[in-house]
Amino acid sequence: KRERDILLVLARGRDVPSIAKQLYISENTVRSHCKNLYRKLDVHNRQQVFDLVEEFRKREEYDGD
């Protein structure tokens, strides 16, 4: 659940300190969850997460039409 929370905030372009503050967790915890997310999503950086989220949104829009 927490990884999902972090992904939602990360997808809005927030940085680690902002995510930690918003979710009331340490920056190290955010980094750990990000590492797990990157591994699960098979990406290596934030930009790839953004690209993946954008691709998902486009598919959702297409499926909704």
Predicted TM-score of the model (pTM):
0.81
Q: In sequence order, which residues have a C-beta less than 8 Å from that of residue 11 and are 6 or more positions away? A: 49, 50, 53
Residues of the chain with pLDDT > 90, as a percent, come to 78
Rounded Cα gap, residues 34 and 7, in angstroms: 8
Do the Cβ atoms of 42 and 50 come closer than 8 Å? Answer: no
pLDDT of residue 65 exceeding 80, the answer is: no
Q: What is the pLDDT of residue 29?
A: 97
User: Tell me: the pLDDT tens digits for 26-53?
Assistant: 999 999 999 999 999 999 999 999 999 8
